[in-house]
Homo-oligomer: A and B are copies of this chain.
Amino acid sequence: MATRSHSLSGQLADRLAATRRLSLDLAAPLSEADANLQPFPDASPAKWHLAHTTWFFETFVLRDHAPRYRPFDERFHFLFNSYYEAEGDRHARPKRGLLSRPSLAEVRDWRAHVDEALAKAMPNLPAATLELIELGINHEQQHQELLLTDLLAGLAENPLEPAYGELSAPACFAIGPLTWLPGREGVAKIGAVDGGFAFDCERPKHDVILTPHQIAARPVTNCEWSEFIAGGCYSNPSLWLSDGWAWVQQEKITAPLYWHGDGTIFTLGGRREIDGAAPVSHISFYEADAFARWAGARLPTEAEWEDFASGADPWLGHQLDTGGPVIPRPGGGVFGDVWQWTASAYLPYPGFRIAEGAVGEYNGKFMSGQMVLKGASCATPRGHSRASYRNFFPPAARWQFTGVRLARDA
């Protein structure tokens, strides 16, 4: 990726503008108080997402590469750093919801200030810096998904069950019985190809060995999950990993997150009937694993999933296009609706090297205690997905749009 033409810079500017606009669109319906909700330490307020994504561009692009850039407010550097140790101290994560100031309007002004400076600077930036902008776009897309899932978690705490927006009614859609597709056997390649954007953790592309297996043609549905519940599986320890069973008991888990006992679910559109034909969502790795065991199957490995998806078009499927509420819908494809838990821990690929400097903290330091998810969800901005993408969360996390696609030995 040594050189880039100016027209490439122009395309990047368009994508940057579209991404920046989408963030504002996502936050548009929120009140100051909505935008400041932090339901638990790992979820951040929407306003914080708007600010932190701006901090990224200000810090890694403008401060470092636009010599005459003047920061909008020096104090924001401390406030809106997420976890970059190399960038110094930062505001404590569990206290993001206590930042009633700066106001949403001030954060929007900051965004405009940074966007303007970026637009002015871009024509003169070298390729390596343009890559940082591309990284910033992808970073902001990740935070767009988090903005929606964190917001859902925040609104879910309110007994008034406020809706972020209006969702269309579930389509009347019948789902057929699960069918199985043959997986490839033998040596395959996974990881991102050279050229084109990918996160560092997706490289190097490398050989893996696939053993004989099959992979489900569609994700597990809400309807199937209801059978798992009805079968008493949440109280049968033989189905669970030891850590999972401890978690189920301690947290008193009896259903996916946001499910109510009466057949309804809380969504970004408020409370509504569970759509039996839609993929189950908001389940932990532990639940996905227990379900697979119950079903006589298992989770796919990351390599199996990636090989399976290598022919699919990541621009298709039910992904995020505009501001407003989203929910997994029946049908769908390989990408979209729900992220799919794999049996693989999030660990470095052979030959992976953490980059120098603060940007090197992006992915590598999280390679511990997390499981890989593949695909994309209804909250993933379209264009952000690819087969080599490695999403990751701790095994008990449920507030993302996380589901499960089964595999089995052949």
Contacts and interface: CB of A to CB of B under 8 A. Distances in A.
B347 A344 contact: yes
A37 B98 contact: yes
Interface stretch (A214-222, A241-249, A309-317): A241-249
A154 B98 contact: yes
A400 interface: no
A397 interface: no
Given A31-B32, A243-B369, A187 B209 contact: yes
A162 B160 CA distance: 30
Interface residues of A, number: 66
A179 to B, nearest CB: 22
B243 A101 contact: no
B207 A238 contact: no
Interface string A346-361: 0110110010000000
Contacts of A101: 31, 33-34, 158, 160, 162
Interface stretch (A8-16, A17-25, A77-85, A328-336): A77-85
Interface in A199-243: 206-209, 211, 237-238, 240-243
B209 A207 contact: yes
A345 interface: yes
A31 B241 CA distance: 37
A264 to B, nearest CB: 17
A350 B369 CA distance: 21
Nearest to A45: B33
A70 interface: no
Nearest to A209: B207
A245 B368 CA distance: 11
Contacts of A240: 365
Most chain B CB inside 10 Å of its own CB: which residue of A37, A160, A241, A368 = A368
Contact of A208 (B86, B97, B159, B209): B209
B85 A245 contact: yes
Taking the full assembly, how many copies of this chain does it contain? 4
A98 B160 contact: no
A322 interface: no
B100 A37 contact: yes
A75 interface: yes
A221 B395 CA distance: 35
A45 to B, nearest CB: 9
Contact of A368 (B37, B85, B162, B241): B241
A210 to B, nearest CB: 9
A283 to B, nearest CB: 15
B242 A366 contact: yes
A363 to B, nearest CB: 10
Interface in A294-319: 301
A86 B239 CA distance: 11
A178 interface: no
Interface in A6-58: 31-37, 39, 47
A242 B368 contact: yes
14 contacts: A31-B100, A33-B33, A33-B100, A33-B103, A34-B101, A79-B159, A91-B159, A97-B97, A100-B162, A102-B160, A241-B368, A286-B368, A350-B409, A369-B369
Which 7 A-B residue pairs are closest in the complex by CB-CB distance? A345-B345, A32-B32, A33-B100, A85-B237, A98-B157, A32-B33, A211-B350
